[in-house]
Structure 1
């Protein structure tokens, strides 16, 4: 059950409307996910949507790898709506279904490509411990450079915030969608 009061065009402040229009006018095609909760603090919503836009569509990572990091993060926090939304993006981006399924059920995926293995190890260690080992960092740095490591950190951090928001706000799965972590 949603915890935040639903904002409507009639109940939004002028600033909330402006930010909601900016969010809905982009590639997101609507104000959903964490944004209805974040709109209660419109400055936050605006800044988070800008960070999210960069992470989703402007990093050096192809969707297959960024969505892999997002799924690891969603599974770690049991962020059901995040998993629901990003599983589709991961499949569309070329991530193999068996990789996503292993992550969903808490197993280490098998037969990962070198870049997938590096992203998985980095995201998994970061989400599990709040840090990564020197070896894991060096492996990611050798493949993605320091920029890629910074973007991978930001991806996990941003989607942790998204997952927390979705969970705390009680954002439901669409009707008929099964709970991926039941």
Structure 2
């Protein structure tokens, strides 16, 4: 049960304007629209445009971050909207949740490790930084760290407000489902 119900029409003029700028009509955005200024800042600070990392790399960072933070709502939205475009297999999608070994490319394995370090330690040690720097330049490292930070915030929002999953979005796979996908 949501702790904050997503706004429903009729919206205030401020909320309507903020929601009109969002890329989709989803419960998360209607929940954050309780504070239209914050929703506008989310849009202005969003990282879903073409950045310095590939779509697949971006989505891997987002999926792993939201999975580690148990933000099933946001993980499911990104699986539903972006996983196919990013070329993820069912086994890779499941691995973002359960961390089972997968056939990740070398730079993808580094991304998984970077996300884990940032989520668990709020930092990246020197060894991992050097390893990551072999694959990612300074602009990409800034974007990766920012993605983890932004989706950490989004995870806080969906978890704290108990946003209900969007219709048609997947739940986290169970360990048995993940094993079957391998």
Report if TM-score (shorter chain) is over 0.5: yes
Residues in 2 aligned to 1:33 and 1:140: alpha-carbon distance in whole angstroms: 35
2:35 aligned partner: 41
Give the Å deviation of 1:68: 0.6
Matches within 5 A, 1:101-120: 101-105=94-98, 107-120=99-112
Matches within 5 A, 1:66-85: 66-85=58-77
TM-score, normalised to structure 1, is: 0.84
After the TM superposition, which segments of 4 or more aligned residues of structure 1 sit over 6 Å from their partners? none
Structure 1: runs of 5 or more not aligned: none
TM-score, normalised to structure 2, is: 0.84
* RMSD across aligned positions (CA): 2.0
Report the 3-state secondary structure (helix = DSSP H, G, I; strand = E; otherwise coil) of the residue aligned with 2:124: coil
CA contact (8 A) 1:75 1:83 kept: yes
Segment of structure 1 superposing worse, 144-153 or 35-44 = 35-44
The match for 1:143 among 122, 135, 140 is: 135
Matches within 5 A, 1:28-177: 28-30=23-25, 32-52=26-46, 55-88=47-80, 89-105=82-98, 107-175=99-167
2:8 aligned partner: 8
Structure 2: runs of 5 or more not aligned: 175-182
Residues in 2 aligned to 1:91 and 1:15: alpha-carbon distance in whole angstroms: 34
Q: How many residues align?
A: 173
